[in-house]
Structure 1
Amino acid sequence: MGKVNTISSLKIVPIFVDITLIALMGYLSYFFRFGEFALPPYYHLFIFSASLITGLIFIVFNSYPDGDSRFREVFVYFFSRVILAFSIFMMLLVFLKVTQLYSRIWLAGWICLSFLVLFAAHAVYHQLVAALQAKGRMMSDVLTIYNTQQGRQTLRGVETAGYRIRQEVDLQGDALVCQSLAARVGSAGVSEVWISMPFSDFASVDKITYELRHTLVNIRFIPQFDDARLLKHRISYLNTQYTIDLSYTPLDGFNRSVKRLEDLILATLISIAVIPVCLVIALAIRLSSKGPVLFKQKRHGMGGEKITVYKFRSMEVHSEGRGVLTQAQDGDPRVSSLGRFLRRSSLDELPQFFNVLQGRMSIVGPRPHALVHNEYYKDLVESYMWRHKVKPGITGWAQINGYRGRTDTLEKMSQRVEHDLWYINNWSLYLDLKIILISCYKGFFHKNAC
């Protein structure tokens, strides 16, 4: 299904280094001002808080330019973000009326040192990354597709640090090649597909993206003229060329690490809080019916990988034919009395917080479907497999908008997938927290549960 691009996830390292450097510069500035490292307690608090706020500003405003960014761009990035961060903190100090506690010379020195050290550290970091990439490390493998020699030249011109063209596909005069693209992407083991064609031939691009709908690679379109415009998706910049990312999610790279941290914190707190509830449910299941307490089933996780999802067992133990899955219906005799309550209250989902702690699921994301459902719907609902560009979730945008429960019609599944893809394309930490709060606000009970 293609490799998930993990190169940009290296941005998680600079953010922690930056916070540490900012804090160290605060202590160094104090030494230059007063000749000692014995700081009063409120200076420690100032340095700690300001360092975290600056790190947060860097995250929110995406203050990490790409490795091939120009000197001026890097300078502007860090100067503007450092000034913004310290300005916010200074306004907070004025509001709290504690500015008289701190030396203005010390603060000015801290700002200057922080900027200079951060700028120098990132210059060294980019040089180190460039050196590693020159040796063939930290590279993303790419498959290129074109139908003209100009397209081939354009794609080779775009190739830059961090990317390596693994395979080229020429569609000129061979329409049958397009039908085998998915297999070629899989066999090449690439993480991205780059397409370059005349914009007037965009119908071919649409056909290519359709053929690759079951893959999970990032897809970029590099137009062959300078004034290309597209209303949707993201336009990025690669070595003097604009690319239109036809398959892109904000949950790549650093944002994926932020979401993982969110999951670990919330899942740990929730798991500790619901331990008594889980023990009561487990005992009730054991006493009310024969069979295991937990129900385990294979589902597709991120990247199409098969994972084991846990739930409290809500049905009587039964067996189904191979490759057959019967969804629960209203009044389904297989569902026990206790199980009906667990399903309607969503309490049967509590063991999935263990899946979250394992890293196989997320608290918020597209709900995982049974394997047979994926095989059935992936050819009926276009872009169905793009749901697997992120980890499946316990709750999601589709669920809080009424698309929870049975998906026994194509229309229901299409609407669920549409909402899932909207979530993936518009992800933010705020959106995750909003979905969690709405899920709690609406309550556990839902009319669509069986």
Structure 2
Amino acid sequence: MKNFDPHSEKASPAPEESDAGDKPPVQESRLDSLVDRIAGELRTDTISPVMVRGWLRIGEFLGLAAIATIIMLAYPQTEANLQYALAITGGSLLYIILAEIADAYELRALRRPLRWFPRIALAWASTFALLALIGFLLKVSGDFSRLWSGSWFIGGMFFLLATRLLLALRIRDWTRSGKLERRAVIVGGGRPAERLIRALEKQRDNDIRICGIFDDRDDERSPPIVAGYPKLGNVEELVAFSRKARIDMLIVSLPLDAEDRVLMMLKKLWVLPVDIRLSAHSNKLRFRHRTYSFIGSVPMLDLADKPIRDWDSVAKRSFDVVFSLLGIVAFSPVMLVTAIAIKLDSRGPVIFRQKRYGFNNDEIWVYKFRSMYTDQCDPSARAMVTKGDPRVTRVGRIIRKTSIDELPQFFNVLRGELSLVGPRPHAITAQAANRLYNEVVDGYFARHRVKPGVTGWAQINGWRGETDTDDKIRKRTEFDLYYIENWSVLFDLKILFLTPIRLFNTDNAY
């Protein structure tokens, strides 16, 4: 979505240092009490249907394989060997493929396990038929115990039925509690929004929950109630609402010919970590079927996707935990020596915390080694650190130059507040040339669509240290947005392993 960019803790006993200026952070539009209460009720996280289906696939594969293995080990007539291992692995995987073809992992199938179980049973039976055919063609069918095969078939069938029934009960609980849903907000009111809502309500097994309507137009063109849903505010208030609530999707209900109005809204909305869809339900212009995404049978045009979602987020979190633990072990001698040096060099605590922007503009406390004299720390972030700054201690100059002061942030990563790789978290009052960053860069907050990182693409490309000009923060933001749009595990690995090399360039670090 960078195409829309017009330019392309509670109080702590530890001191809080600053790299920023003296203006208060920008305030988004305030919500009235009712809308604020609605947003608060939607603050809890939801469970993605994609993740539910994915974990079910993994669970069924492992369960079927475990049943076959236990039966094989229990019967003395069978001998554990490569053939049995291949048959168990191949058969379990083959069932997953056939069940996928039969749509047995769709949410509607998971809600009604008894109605869909004939398809599941057929997929399991087809798995054994194909295994028997493969064994016949390879002339190895006689090597397998018929008792083992029959026991696996019957045991697997009961396992699949029990798993589906138990999951259906769990899904019912999640649905009642509002956890298994995609929360959507309609952007734009009037008749187009009413037609869209009616079409969505007709969809059976729809996991979309409409949380309200936001529209800039007055009540004459956009009434306060549309299809039973209230208009909660304008687009500016929608940004604040989406920050507080856990919204998954924004559906823009405007005609395609309202290009200027759509683009104006997108410039305000693309900074949010949500899916943005343009409803094509009421548009007469039709594209090829594969151009659309669908909610049920309602066509949508994809304008923006939430970055690093579902299984990507699992992969990134696993990456963070593994490598941050390795980092803590590898750098523990350095951190110990640094802590001793700080204590010997000046009075005060070894660690300090600084309030910075985290994911979705949430404020987080970031840990660092103290590099300033305790009585000269800047808890209100009034002045950025400059070259030769007298507030910085002798040890502080060394650890800031080498970025050793950032090592405690490995613990922020383990807490889930930071990622190892991502846009660097800035202080909430950070400035470039006496202006807040968001005043310099239009769309600056789009860098907060993902968790901030200990290191990032901008830093290894030389954009670290002091931001005393507008161009420096623009360049940093440009590289941050590139990272978000092009993220992959391999990209994270590249940045992580390039970081120590790039740290040798300390020209901008003081």
Distance 1:16 1:186, change over 3 A: closer
RMSD of equivalent CA atoms: 4.8
Q: What is aligned with 2:363?
A: 306
Distance 2:505 2:155 in 1: 52
| Residue identity matched to 2:441 | V
For 1:294 and 1:430, how far apart are their aligned partners in 2?
32
Secondary structure at 2:429 match in 1 = helix
CA distance in 1, matches of 2:147, 2:504: 53
What displacement does 1:325 show?
3.0
Residues in 2 aligned to 1:197 and 1:366: alpha-carbon distance in whole angstroms: 33
Give the one of 151, 157, 165 matched to 2:210.
Answer: 165
Amino acid in the other structure paired with 1:67: L
Is the Cα–Cα contact under 8 Å of residues 299 and 371 in structure 1 kept in the other structure?
A: yes
The 2-side partners of 1:370 and 1:332 are apart by: 18
Match of 2:466 among 400, 406, 410: 406
TM-score computed with the length of structure 1 as normaliser: 0.75
Per-residue displacement from partner, 1:53-79 (whole Å, max 9, x unpaired)? 969x99xx9x9966359999xx99xx9
Q: Would the alpha carbon gap of residues 206 and 111 (structure 1) be closer, same or farther in structure 2, given more than 3 Å must change?
A: farther
Cα pair distance change 1:392/1:187, threshold 3 Å: closer
Instruction: Tell me, yes or no, if the aligned pair for 2:356 and 2:363 is still in contact at 8 Å.
Output: yes
TM-superposition CA deviations, 1:149-204 (whole Å, max 9, x none): 13431244235522221212455556996464337735994613221111111221
Contact 2:279 2:300 (C-alpha < 8 Å) held by counterparts: yes
8 Å CA contact retained: 2:463, 2:472: yes
Aligned match of 1:154: 196
Select the residue among 255, 258, 270 that pairs with 2:327. Answer: 270
CA pair 122-268 structure 1, distance change in 2 beyond 3 A? same
| 2:241 alignment partner, one of 161, 181, 185 | 185
Q: Distance in 2 between matches of 1:445 and 1:105?
A: 68
CA contact (8 A) 2:215 2:235 kept: no
The separation in 1 between residues aligned to 2:424 and 2:87, in whole angstroms, is 39
The letter for the 1-side match of 2:464 is R
* Distance of 2:381 and 2:437 partners within structure 1: 14
Which structure has the bigger radius of gyration? Answer: 2
Task: State the alpha-carbon separation in 1 of the partners of residues 460 and 80 from structure 2.
Answer: 46
2:477 counterpart residue number: 417
What is the distance in 1 between the residues matched to 2:484 and 2:44? 16
* Residue number among 107, 113, 133 corresponding to 1:67 in the alignment: 107
CA gap of 1:418–1:306, structure 2 versus 1, over 3 A, is: same
Give the direction of change, closer, same or farther, for the CA distance of 1:262–1:404 in structure 2 (3 Å limit).
Answer: same
Find the counterpart in structure 2 of residue 203 from structure 1.
Answer: 260
Residue 275 to residue 4, structure 1, CA distance change in 2 (3 Å): same
Q: Which moved more, 1:137-146 or 1:24-33?
A: 24-33
Task: Write the letter of the residue equivalent to 2:200.
Answer: V
The 1:341/1:321 distance shift into structure 2, 3 A limit, reads closer
Give the Cα–Cα distance (whole angstroms) in 2 for the partners of residues 167 and 184 of structure 1: 14
The answer as to whether partners of 1:344 and 1:446 remain within 8 angstroms in 2 is yes
Question: Could you say which structure has the greater relative contact order, defined with CA pairs below 8 angstroms and 6 or more residues apart?
Answer: 2
Between stretches 7-16 and 312-321, larger displacement belongs to 7-16
Q: Is the aligned partner of 1:225 residue 2:280?
A: no
Distance 1:199 1:308, change over 3 A: same
Question: How far did residue 226 of structure 1 move?
Answer: 6.3
**1:65–1:416 distance in 2 versus 1, CA, 3 Å:** farther
Q: Greater CA deviation, 428-437 or 366-375? A: 366-375
Contact 2:243/2:361 (CA < 8 Å) preserved in 1?
no
Cα separation, partners in 2 of 1:124 and 1:238, compared to 1, 3 Å? farther
Q: Is the 8 A contact 2:183 2:246 kept in 1?
A: yes
Change (3 A) 1:41 1:15: farther
**Deviation for aligned residue 1:343:** 1.6
Residues 46 and 178, structure 2, Cα contact 8 Å, conserved in 1: no
1:441 shift after superposition: 4.1
Correspondence for 1:426: 486
Deviation at 1:354, TM superposition (A): 0.9
- Matched-pair contact (CA < 8 Å) for 1:5–1:140: no
Give yes or no for contact 2:188–2:214 (8 Å, CA) kept in 1: yes
Range with greater deviation from structure 2 (253-262 or 7-16): 7-16
Distance 1:332 1:46, change over 3 A: farther
CA spacing shift, 1:50–1:338, aligned 2, 3 Å: farther
Q: Distance in 2 between matches of 1:396 and 1:105?
A: 57
Given that 2:216 and 2:235 are in contact with CA atoms closer than 8 Å, whether structure 1 keeps it comes out as: no
% same residue: 29
After TM superposition, give the deviation of residue 344 of structure 1 in Å: 2.0
Relative to structure 1, the CA distance from residue 107 to residue 236 in structure 2 (aligned partners, 3 Å threshold; closer, same or farther) is farther
Q: Give 5+ residue unaligned stretches, structure 1.
A: 84-89, 91-98
- Tell me if structure 1 keeps the 8 A contact 2:376–2:391: no
CA distance in 2, matches of 1:308, 1:423: 23
- Counterpart amino acid of residue 329 in structure 2: I
Once the two structures are superposed, residues 224-251 of structure 1 have per-residue CA deviations (whole angstroms, 9 ceiling, x without a partner) of 3265679xxx963211123334342331
Q: Which residue of 2 is the match for residue 93 of structure 1?
A: none
Aligned position for 1:244: 301
Paired position in structure 1 for 2:318: 261
Unaligned runs of 5+ in 2: 1-27, 29-38, 128-133, 135-139, 223-232
Q: Is the 8 A contact 1:181 1:212 kept in 2?
A: no
For residue 349 of structure 1, what is the aligned residue in structure 2? 406
- Range with bigger deviation, 347-356 or 9-18: 9-18
Q: Where does residue 144 of structure 1 map in the other structure?
A: 186
TM-superposition CA deviations, 1:1-46 (whole Å, max 9, x none): 8768943546556555544532443354467789727976766995
- Judge conservation of contact 1:314–1:335 (CA < 8 Å) in 2: yes
TM-score after normalising by structure 2: 0.67
2:410 matches 1:369: no
Q: Against the structure 1 CA distance between its residues 190 and 350, is the aligned structure 2 distance closer, same or farther, given a 3 Å change threshold?
A: closer
Q: How many angstroms apart in 1 are the aligned matches of 2:388 and 2:349? A: 22
Q: Which residue of 1 aligns with 2:373?
A: 316
Q: Distance in 1 between matches of 2:243 and 2:419?
A: 29
Cα 1:35/1:290, change in 2 over 3 Å: closer
